[in-house]
A and B are shown apart, each in its own frame.
Chain A
């Protein structure tokens, strides 16, 4: 499997499960994006804009860094 293109990880899938099984499509609808984009974010294939990241955190009523984490490694 090819490495993920970003070191940004997230807990969106786990948080959706905790929030009454919020589906990918429901989250996408609230963000105004497609379900494919939510799937890409969850799988680490797409890093959302800072604005969308804040929107996601607000939907889960959590601080940004409780939803998104920046992986350890060499800083460039």
Chain B
């Protein structure tokens, strides 16, 4: 049985969210949750255990691993869901979900505006090392600013998609 040719969207149909915007939403939720959980777990231990005895490496690695895998898997699942919805309406997911020049411009716009998160806040790592604080605080700080960078990047992209931007 031949599938009918996918049709183009009519103007009165609501536009769908493209893959890049879907990924931004997944990224902001995943990093907010994994970072919060990591901080809750480690800081809870700090309250009842001497800092030098707190096990923080495994939770940190788990948080990083879960963040990366969940963003990838979540984006794929979100994309599949969007594609199935379009296909059921007879529309072409390849055409409507693809990345284009606006997505690239928005990604560049977000990179420029979140550069400071890594560069300025990253300098705080040096300060912590100079103060000779426990490695727990340095590792946690580096993870926190990495997450802040990912969350800021996603937030800037979502804002650009929703409200527009000037490249």
B101 within 8 Å of A (CB atoms): yes
- Segment among A22-30, A56-64, A65-73 that sits at the interface with chain B: A22-30
**B96, A46: Cβ atoms under 8 Å?**
no
* Pairs A–B under 8 Å by Cβ, sample size 11: A2-B163, A5-B166, A34-B95, A34-B102, A35-B15, A36-B15, A36-B18, A39-B15, A45-B165, A47-B166, A48-B101
**B8, A44: Cβ atoms under 8 Å?**
no
Given A23-B10, A29-B95, A37-B101, A46 and B165 contact (CB-CB distance below 8 Å): yes
- Enumerate chain A interface residues (CB-CB to B < 8 A): 2, 4-6, 23-26, 29, 32-37, 39-40, 43-49, 52
Task: Report the count of interface residues on B (CB-CB < 8 A).
Answer: 21
B39 within 8 Å of A (CB atoms): no
| Chain B residues whose CB sits within 8 angstroms of the CB of A43 once the complex forms | 164
Q: How far is the CB of B165 from chain A (nearest CB, A)?
A: 5
7 shortest interchain CB distances as A-B pairs: A45-B164, A25-B8, A33-B100, A37-B102, A5-B164, A25-B9, A36-B15
* Interface SS majority for chain A: loop
- Enumerate chain B interface residues (CB-CB to A < 8 A): 8-11, 15-18, 95-98, 100-102, 105, 163-167
20 new A-B contacts, CB < 8 A, other than A43-B164, A46-B102, are A2-B163, A5-B165, A5-B166, A23-B9, A23-B10, A25-B10, A26-B8, A33-B101, A33-B102, A34-B97, A36-B15, A36-B16, A36-B18, A36-B96, A37-B101, A37-B102, A45-B163, A45-B165, A46-B105, A49-B101
A6 to B166, CA, bound (A): 6
A32 to B95, CA, bound (A): 9
Interface core residue of B16, B100, B105 (most chain A CB under 10 Å): B100
| Chain A residues whose CB sits within 8 angstroms of the CB of B17 once the complex forms | 36
Interface core residue of B8, B11, B18, B97 (most chain A CB under 10 Å): B11
Partner of A24, one of B11, B97, B165, B167: B11
